[in-house]
Amino acid sequence: MNRSTGRHFLQIPGPTNVPLPVLAAIAQPTVDHRGPGFPSLTFEVLEGMAAVFKTSAAIVIYPASGTGAWEAALVNSLSPGDTVLMVETGHFASLWRKMATRLGLKVEFLDGDWRRGANASEIETRLVEDHAQKIKAVAIVHNETSTGAVSNVASVRRALDAAKHPALLMVDTISSLGSIDYRHDEWGVDVTVGGSQKGLMLPPGLSFNAISQKARLAARSARLPRVFWDWEDMIAANLTGYFPSTPATNMLQGLKVALNLLQEETLPVVFARHERAAEATRQCVRHWGLEILCSDPAHYSSSLTAVLMPDGQSADALRSMILQRSSVSLGNGLGKLADRVFRIGHLGDFNDASLLGSLAAIEAGLLTSEIAIKSGGVEKAIASLVSSGHLQIAAE
């Protein structure tokens, strides 16, 4: 392969681009995790994460990818044979379901077409039917990264309340935290699962649980085996500023800086920046004449857009050509969407230039592949960005 010149654009929906100050923080010398200086780092990142989760609940940080925090949520709060209600929003919901099954839980899976978020009224109907209250948890994915569809968590909370059902509410926010508004406390979520490598602008390697009092209480009688994932071991050690085993010290140094960056920009501006990029992307895709996978505009994701290929065209061939010619990495289709969609990540650390550059590279790739599209989508994206103004200035 020829040497590629210029910058590589990482436009996949996670891992995302890591800002230089975060990379520099991670590159600092490794510190003593049992030394006197460490607790201040622990307290600062826990406080910063509380602001991002919008919670005063307990938070734990694992040196693991998001999958680890999924497992932690399940093994801490449930017992073998417990029933969990999950919703088939896409590939990630399906993987979480598979994990629950492998752990010995019974999963009731509400069918979905991978083109929209969870349907709260279907959840409510199922909960109302559950007279014996066999369902111990409802687990949903906030932003389904395989499809670009968001579930309305507040409406799922209302469904639980309306059904007067005591099940725990668990939400995966791995690709929404730090890019789409999320409110652990206000939405009455019991366990929120997060990861470092998407909206939080860090490399992969950290994941999180935010845990309500109700979930901690459930954990006392929950019998799934856990050692490494045990919440209470972690919470007890964190109270002193330390960890039960060696934390990912350099990642925590990076997390501290990433949280400062989010704070400096302010969360409302961060969310508006993502919405603005998503809208520009959708206008571009529509102009091309391609179909946005998410079929319900109320569920559009502002962290990524999944685009359906015309029948008979390979998304992977297109992606590989765009990578070779323009050094832009796009997300692949996952699970049953393999080769059928490409995903444009517009989350984390990016700006108008990186978005427009990526969309232009995609348009050039589509034209080169002789896929029947209408050219000029990028102009639509520019017009959309121009008409929505410049947020950082607008926020001042």
Ligand X SMILES: *Cc1c(COP(=O)(O)O)cnc(C)c1O
Query: Using the rule CB under 6 A, which residue among 33, 65, 181, 349 binds ligand X?
Result: 65
Which CB atom, from 14 or from 48, has the smaller least distance to ligand X?
A: 14
Residue nearest to ligand X as judged by C-beta position: 66
Shortest distance, position 18 Cβ to ligand X, whole Å: 15
CA distance 303 to 336: 21
| 141 is an interface residue for ligand X by CB under 6 A | yes
Single out the residue of 48, 63, 66, 178 in contact with ligand X (rule: CB under 6 A): 66
The correct pick among 76, 145, 192, 209 for binding ligand X (CB under 6 A) is 145
Assess 71 for contact with ligand X (CB under 6 A): no
Which one of residues 19, 104, 203, 204 is an interface residue with ligand X (CB under 6 A)? 204
Taking CB under 6 A as the binding criterion, the range among 167-175, 234-242, 285-293, 369-377 that sits at the site for ligand X is 167-175
Q: DSSP readout, 250-289? A: HHHHHHHHHHHHHHHH-HHHHHHHHHHHHHHHHHHHHHHT
Tell whether omega for the bond before 15 is within 30 degrees of 0, i.e. cis.
yes
DSSP per residue, 216-246: HHHHHH--S--STT-HHHHHHHHHTT--SS-
Cβ atoms of residues 45 and 256 within 8 Å: yes
The Cα 254–Cα 250 span in angstroms is: 6
Does residue 305 touch ligand X according to CB under 6 A? Answer: no
Interface of this chain with ligand X, residues 1 to 60, rule: CB under 6 A: 14
How many amino acids of this chain bind ligand X (CB under 6 A)?
Answer: 12
Nearer to ligand X by Cβ, of 119 and 175: the residue is: 175
Q: In the window 75-114, what residues touch ligand X (CB under 6 A)? A: 92
Output the smallest distance, CB 320 to ligand X, in A: 21
> What is the distance between the alpha carbons of residues 339 and 383, in angstroms, rounded to a whole number?
30
Of these, 119, 147, 151, 175, which contacts ligand X (CB under 6 A)? 175
Token pair in block for residue 247? 């934390």
Among 67, 125, 260, 314, interactor with ligand X by CB under 6 A = 67
Q: Which is nearer to ligand X, 117 or 365 (CB)?
A: 117
Residue 167 burial (C-beta neighbours within 10 Å; 0-12, 13-18, 19+): buried
From the centroid of its chain, how far is CA 264?
A: 21
282 marked among binding-site residues: no
Q: Indicate if the alpha-carbon torsion angle 63, 65, 66, 71 is positive or negative.
A: negative
By CB under 6 A, which span of 19-27, 61-69, 246-254, 311-319 interacts with ligand X? 61-69
* Contact flag: residue 172 with ligand X (CB under 6 A): yes
Tell me the C-alpha distance between 119 and 319, whole Å. Answer: 32
Q: Which residues are annotated as a binding site?
A: 343
User: Which residues of this chain interact with ligand X, rule CB under 6 A?
Assistant: 14, 65-67, 92, 141, 145, 172, 174-175, 195, 204
